[in-house]
Amino acid sequence: MSVIYDPVHWTPHKKTYDRLIAAFVFAYLALFCGLQLLLHPQITAETLVIRATGTLAYLMLHIILIIGPLCRLSPRFLPLLYNRRHLGVSMFLIALVHGIFNLVQFHSLGNVDPLLSLFTSNTQFGSLARFPFQSLGFFALVILFLMAATSHDFWLKNLSPPVWKALHMGVYAAYAMLVMHVMLGVVQLEKSPVLIALTGAGMFTVIGIHLAAAIRQSGKDQGSVRKKISGRDMETQQQAADSDQMFSGFVYACEVSDIADNRAKMLTISGEQIALFKYGNKLSAVHNLCKHQNGPLSEGKIIDGCITCPWHGYQYLPENGQSPPPFEEKVCTYDVRVLGTKIYVNPKPYPAGTPRPAALIAE
């Protein structure tokens, strides 16, 4: 978190993460180029650079894409998510080298401008076999550029989280274009089934992990759904009568014992995703999505009295949904009531940052 513009808000973990990225990049390039020169000494320097950077960027994109769903499957992979944006920017820079070398190699020093050549040398869009695959790579690179250029909390704040998130979901469009870029490009030349299988394996890994995470999340979401109650659902008619006024609009959430101390339970009530926290003998509810990158606050923890997002550590006070000063992020708050061991939540949200008294759990 940062309240002033800071190019990179360095933490020890980010430094370690970046060192690992650098080591990975250099190790891959050294290995790939070394093997190429050993097994194919006839290769030209330009082709070596194009293939080394192309395969590396493509591989890194796969890693980037599986980190998100991997963290949904097990939060223990969250350290990989913490500085993923540096991995993304590194991948873009490597892809940019690949793109520039391709533009120079295949389109420069000709009778038309290189960029014009890129779009006019092959216009056979109607044929899959002859499809101008390089234009797919170009448009994917444009998307990756927009993502890399806005991979900073400055842009997140100024574009607003929903716009920023939508922009960064463009990575899936870029990935789809790059799969086609590879399949309609180099795979058309390199007929080896091993290379086709590798491309397929990468694609199925990305899709498979996303599906597994989606299925798991769907199960969680269904488990979190709560429906509005009627008096008959209350323990006794007397309780219903006594609580008609007090519990109007409230929905049964769970038992007090269902929530671990300093942890939360996610609820979905009337489409509203709510994180219900228990801390000490108190209960508070806030909107489930972190203002930073829509991280699931219900998977967070109360640390130093603050709800702490599991993704990047953004914090909110449970009783008003406000980040502690000097930070300014706010989430919606909800009313919570306790009746015996049962917790009820009113799904009507208060404006972000509205203080609501915590419900007290009877001793």
Partner 1 sequence: MNQDAEFYIGWQTETPPGFARAVRRFIIGLCLLVPVVAALIVVFQSGFSGATFEYGKKTTLEGTFSRSPVPFLSIHSGINAAGKPVLQKILLVGPGKFGFDATAKYKNLQNGALVTLTGFLIYHDGKTGMQVESIENQAITGNQQPITDKQQPVSSPVTLRGEITDPKCLLGVMKPGLGKPHRDCAVRCIAGGIPPVLKVANTAGETEYYLLAGPKGEPINNLLLEYVSDGVQLCGRLDPEGDWPVLYVDPANIRRINKGALNPGNTCN
Tokens for 359, please give them: 């419900």
Considering only 166, 173, 215, 260, the residue that binds partner 1 (CB under 8 A) is 260
The answer to whether the CB of 360 falls within 8 A of the CB of 336 is: no
Is 150 a binding residue for partner 1 by CB under 8 A? The answer is no
Binding segment for partner 1 among 113-121, 162-170, 238-246, 289-297 (CB under 8 A)? Answer: 113-121
Considering only 86, 89, 97, 117, the residue that binds partner 1 (CB under 8 A) is 117
Binding segment for partner 1 among 100-108, 210-218, 316-324, 334-342 (CB under 8 A)? Answer: 100-108
Peptide bond into 7 cis (omega under 30): no
Binding segment for partner 1 among 89-97, 110-118, 237-245, 316-324 (CB under 8 A)? Answer: 110-118
Residues between 207 and 226 with contacts to partner 1, criterion CB under 8 A: none
For 222-225, the CB contacts below 8 A with 24+ separation are 224/265, 224/266, 224/267, 224/268, 224/273, 225/267, 225/268, 225/269
Residues between 171 and 210 with contacts to partner 1, criterion CB under 8 A: 184-186, 188-192, 194-195, 198
- Choice between 106 and 350, CB closer to partner 1: 106
Structure-token match 């609009």, residue found: 249
Q: How far apart are CA 262 and CA 140, in angstroms?
A: 43
Tokens for 54, please give them: 């192309």
| Size, binding site for partner 1 by CB under 8 A | 73
Residues between 276 and 335 with contacts to partner 1, criterion CB under 8 A: 300-301, 303, 308, 310, 312-313
Residues between 9 and 48 with contacts to partner 1, criterion CB under 8 A: 11-14, 20, 24, 28, 31-32, 35-36, 39-40, 42-44, 46-47
Residue 35: CB atoms within 10 Å = 10
Q: How far apart are CA 59 and CA 65, in angstroms?
A: 10
Element (H, E) at 28: helix 12-39
Q: How far apart are CA 351 and CA 114, in angstroms?
A: 53
Considering only 79, 340, 355, 357, the residue that binds partner 1 (CB under 8 A) is 79
Is 232 a binding residue for partner 1 by CB under 8 A? The answer is no
Is 59 a binding residue for partner 1 by CB under 8 A? The answer is yes
Binding segment for partner 1 among 116-124, 144-152, 164-172, 280-288 (CB under 8 A)? Answer: 116-124
